[in-house]
Homo-oligomer: A and B are copies of this chain.
Amino acid sequence: MSLNSIFQYFVPKDKKFFPLFEQASSNLIDMAKLLKELVNLPDSSKRKELCRKIEDLEHRGDDISHQIHLELGKNFITPFDREDIHTLTSSLDDVADFIHGASNRIDLYKVEKITDPIIEMADLILEATEDVAKAVHELRNLKNIRNITDSCVRINSIENKADYIFDKAVGELFEFEKDAIVLIKYKEVLSAMETATDKCEDVANVLESILVKNA
């Protein structure tokens, strides 16, 4: 606790890292919104366009990560451990990768009918990225640790729901889908989406371990 006060004293307003983390996590929300839009399209005519937008945002995320690394090289004092900044950055990157991966598979595998579990998954991914962004915003002042841990708990529960939906959907594919290639398509799309929520849980774990060290 005393460590925390020292910490707050010396780095009262970090002007470099926090805004970048906030940009990275807002970017995830934008990607998740586009993914939700994509899986709710009435037909696949606008699909390519949305996929391209998601890809653009993934590149924007890469740029933000790169800027964080440049700042790490320039700044001797950082708001928390350099390796945690590094781990947090790459875990946010992983979320972007799998949201992009999911949209990419829907496009590349030419998935015709978007099923209910895919739509539910997109909702959960959006929820999870919103909690990731909330928790990341609270990092600025570690006063409201409770807000961060609450978000982390919610992310964990979202990931559990995504797990359940994935398992149930794949169970049903094995029961009712007789075309093996169609079965694989849906399984792979759902699996990328489920992994996106796993990666949000990884972000939550990194945040919790930052709290554990600095609180």
Residues of chain A touching chain B, judged by Cβ–Cβ distance below 8 Å, are 69, 72-73, 82-83, 85-87, 90, 104-105, 108-110, 167-168, 170-171, 174-175, 177-178, 180-181, 183-185, 187, 205, 208-209, 212-213, 215
How many subunits of this chain does the assembly comprise?
A: 3
Q: Which of B72, B104, B184, B212 contacts A86 (CB 8 A)?
A: B212
Q: Is the interface of A mostly helix, strand, loop or mixed?
A: helix
Do A108 and B213 have beta carbons less than 8 Å apart?
A: no
Selected A-B contacts with CB under 8 Å, 29 pairs: A69-B208, A69-B212, A72-B212, A73-B212, A73-B215, A82-B209, A82-B212, A82-B213, A83-B209, A83-B212, A83-B213, A85-B212, A86-B205, A86-B212, A90-B205, A104-B167, A108-B171, A109-B170, A109-B171, A110-B171, A110-B174, A174-B181, A177-B181, A178-B181, A180-B180, A180-B184, A183-B184, A184-B184, A184-B187
